[in-house]
């Protein structure tokens, strides 16, 4: 049961990282306003909430650790790869744009890894102090609403949602088909509402938005609510759809391949920067391409190519335990230790 559950979530992570890279390809391969692209908006309506839900789902495994141990472990798994991987890119930015731009880009680079780390620290620090899980959730949620950097205010609710989902998953898992159907209907009904205005509210804090609310302008409050609802329903839909499909599709080598690729999403998230974002700056953009060809053929194929390329790169990195430690966040004393994987931001 545990093995099957992990394979399902590896498939979920693989799908989520595919959406991340596809979304970046849509944004970077052309010079036009990508926020007008309906496929891009559909991806951004739920893909980062889905990733943070998965992070929260597995976060219960560190509940018995001391806070210091949690911080050190998550710093190795999340912060160290972000810092090391971006170092050569930061050197290029320094030469081309100066120190201040380099510092700004270094801080913002791989924001999701930093967001996940901060979510871990906020929640488990609150839990160690408050003892009660419910109180810790409320306290950490309240704190997060006042932290806009790294989208903490928008990500921690999904971290907590995933944590709770992990606690009740064995009970709700048998009803995966019903949950997928209901959440799918809700998500699809919300999708047309997730427009450019809602996208622009993704970096806003719901609480600060309400405190600054003006009766003559409700756009930001509306946007926060739509983003929250679409993120929750979309995450539920994908997770339980994959769970339901896992009962219908025979297990075999394909599941094993999915499990391997799904465990490499942290690396895909980082290499995506080099393989998707940089080439258009030096090779050129695809402006003028047929929209259908661009949206549903070229960009998704580019995302698949990045995932495959990263798989072979990771294989090379794993041959050296120090590279595995610095770039993949693996423990030095466990070359093949498991790694929870993640993704990236609103640009």
Quick: pLDDT tens for 170-194.
999 999 999 999 999 999 999 999 9
- How far apart, in whole angstroms, are the C-alpha atoms of residue 222 and residue 193? 10
* Greatest Cα pair distance in the chain: 60
110: region left, alpha or beta (phi > 0 left; psi from -120 to 50 alpha): left
Quick: pLDDT tens for 214-228.
544 677 888 889 999
Please answer whether residues 256 and 302 qualify as being in contact, where contact means their C-beta atoms are separated by less than 8 angstroms: no
- Report the Cα–Cα distance between both ends of the chain, in Å, rounded: 38
Report CA torsion sign: 58, 61, 67, 72.
negative
Other beta carbons within 10 angstroms of residue 25's beta carbon come to: 28
pTM > 0.75: yes or no: yes
Residues 6+ apart with CB under 8 A from 247: 176
CA distances from 238 to 59, 155, 320, 334 (A): 19, 18, 35, 32
pLDDT tens for the chain, 347 residues: list them: 334 447 889 999 999 999 999 999 999 999 988 998 999 999 999 999 999 999 999 998 887 888 889 999 999 999 999 999 999 989 988 888 888 988 998 999 999 999 999 999 999 999 989 888 899 999 999 999 888 889 999 999 999 999 999 999 999 999 999 999 999 999 999 999 999 999 988 888 777 776 666 544 677 888 889 999 999 999 999 999 999 998 887 766 677 788 788 889 999 999 999 999 888 988 899 998 999 999 999 999 999 999 999 999 999 999 999 999 999 999 887 544 443 334 333 33
Please answer whether residues 270 and 326 qualify as being in contact, where contact means their C-beta atoms are separated by less than 8 angstroms: no
């Amino acid at each position: 049961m545990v093995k099957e559950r992990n394979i399902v979530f590896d498939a979920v992570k693989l799908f989520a990282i595919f959406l991340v890279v596809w979304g970046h390809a849509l944004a970077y391969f052309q010079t036009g306003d990508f926020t007008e692209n309906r496929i891009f908006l559909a991806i951004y309506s739920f893909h980062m909430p889905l990733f943070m839900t998965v992070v929260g789902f597995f976060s219960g495994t560190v509940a018995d650790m001391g806070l210091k141990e949690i911080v050190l472990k998550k710093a190795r798994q999340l912060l160290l790869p972000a810092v090391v991987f971006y170092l050569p890119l930061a050197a290029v930015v320094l030469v081309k744009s100066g120190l201040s731009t380099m510092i700004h880009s270094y801080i913002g680079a791989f924001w999701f890894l930093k967001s996940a780390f901060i979510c871990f620290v906020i929640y488990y620090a609150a839990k160690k102090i408050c003892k009660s899980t419910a109180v810790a959730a409320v306290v950490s949620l309240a704190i997060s609403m006042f932290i806009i950097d790294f989208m903490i205010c928008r990500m921690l609710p999904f971290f907590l949602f995933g944590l709770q989902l992990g606690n009740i998953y064995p009970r709700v898992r048998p009803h995966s088909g019903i949950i997928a159907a209901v959440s799918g209907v809700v998500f699809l009904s919300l999708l047309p509402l997730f427009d450019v205005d809602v996208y622009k509210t993704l970096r806003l804090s719901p609480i600060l938005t309400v405190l600054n609310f003006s009766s003559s302008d409700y756009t930001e409050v509306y946007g926060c609510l739509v983003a929250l609802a679409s993120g929750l329903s979309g995450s539920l839909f994908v997770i339980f759809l994959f769970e339901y499909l896992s009962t219908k599709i025979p297990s075999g080598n394909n599941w094993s391949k999915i499990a391997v690729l799904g465990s490499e999403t942290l690396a895909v998230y980082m290499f995506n920067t080099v393989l998707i974002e940089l080439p258009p700056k030096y090779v050129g953009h695809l402006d003028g391409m047929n929209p259908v060809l661009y949206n549903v053929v070229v960009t998704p194929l580019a995302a698949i190519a990045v995932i495959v390329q990263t798989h072979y790169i990771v294989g090379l990195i794993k041959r050296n335990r120090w590279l595995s430690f610095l770039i993949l966040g693996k423990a030095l004393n466990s070359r093949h230790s498991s790694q929870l994987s993640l993704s990236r931001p609103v640009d």
